[in-house]
Amino acid sequence: MDYKAKDFTNLIGMDGFSKELLEQHFTLYNGYVANTNKLLEILKSMREEGKLGTPEFAEVKRRLGWEFNGMRLHEYYFENLGGDGNLNKEGKLAKLFEENFGNYENWENEFKAIGKMRGISWVILYQDNISGDLINFWINEHDVAHPAGCKPILVMDVFEHAFLTDYGLNRADYIEAFFKNINWEVVENRLI
């Protein structure tokens, strides 16, 4: 399998995100794609050479989770941007916000509060594949703490590279810009 980096240059010009910030972020994403492919090739060679039980294999295999999830989470993130930030109040997602959080505003307040927590992370709205419930999660690292059996619905990158160029340490303003650019149609289409 050879993964290809997706083109997200259509996001350039999006309000609240400079061209410089986006191009730096795309470069980082492209690195995750390239590293995922490199690691998969190394792992293939190790299998062919009978090196599955080695410490080297274990370390490359562990690193694959970081690079692969870094690639995929950035794809979710960029794909759920580029909209006008207006949620369809009659849609399935709006109804789930009401069922799971009481209303949209409660959900938004919680999601934003998680995004403002100290530390590097992703903030991800997941849908439980079994119950269908929506749950907000703080994901500290790409490859750690993803809830089993849940599907990412909305992904917000709050690692410093996502906002420092434009906002310095003012993460709250970045989060506001993120919300103004959510493509809710893409997000709703991710629902199970």
Token reading at 57 = 């294999």
Partner residues linked to 126 by β-bridges = 135, 152
Question: Any idea what the Cα angle at residue 147 is, between residues 143 and 149, rounded to 5°?
Answer: 115
Structure letter (DSSP) for residue 141: B
First-to-final CA distance of the chain:
26
Please tell me whether 2 is known to bind a ligand.
no
Q: Is 157 annotated as a binding residue?
A: yes
Distance of alpha carbon 45 from alpha carbon 100, whole angstroms: 47
How far is it, in rounded angstroms, from Cα 25 to Cα 29? 6
Q: Which residue has the tokens 């849940």?
A: 150
Asked if 142 and 66 count as a contact pair (C-beta separation under 8 A), the reply is: yes
- Secondary element (H or E) of residue 154: strand 150-157
CA distance 180 to 174: 10
Binding residues: 25, 74, 157, 161
Binding positions for Mn(2+) are 25, 74, 157, 161
